[in-house]
Amino acid sequence: AEKMEIPRHWRLKKQRYALVGETCPHCDGKIFPPRDVCPHCGGEAKTPYGFSGRGKVFSFTMMQDAPAGYEAQAPYTVALVQLEEGPVITAQLTDLGDQAVEIGMPVEMVTRKIRQDGNDRGILVYGYKFRPLMQ
Ligand code: ZN
């Protein structure tokens, strides 16, 4: 179901490498999702890079309506998560319990239900979610 392309020689042996992007050999920029062109300097960037999966909530939105087929999951929270390494990505938050989401809240990636969906506003939810970082 994952659309993200991962070079064959890159082995996903360790979970901490589950969030695979690229690093730019020209400016050392970290890239996610992989796009083979560095958004910072425009250079070719095809070197796989495993992100830590940790970051913080940059902004978030409570979604009251789920895409067709996912109604059971509504409401849910979609956040822009800024990874430790710099890139900001869109992902669903999970395991929130009673915890209120706050800007700057530390989170970590979990990969328990792989799927891909989107909505008419173009928000893509990749095959991973983020949960509050266990201190
Ligand atoms: Zn670059």
The CA 47 to ligand 1 mean position distance, Å, reads: 11
The CA 66 to ligand 1 mean position distance, Å, reads: 36
The CA 33 to ligand 1 mean position distance, Å, reads: 14
Q: Check if the beta carbon of residue 54 is closer than 8 Å to that of residue 108.
A: yes
Residue 112, pLDDT score: 58
Nearest to 67 by CA among 116, 10, 1, 24: 116
Residue 41, pLDDT score: 97
The CA 97 to ligand 1 mean position distance, Å, reads: 39
DSSP per-residue letters across 32-48: SS--SB-TTT--B--EE
Tens of pLDDT, residue by residue over 57-104, are: 999 998 887 777 767 677 889 999 999 999 999 988 999 988 899 999
The CA 70 to ligand 1 mean position distance, Å, reads: 38
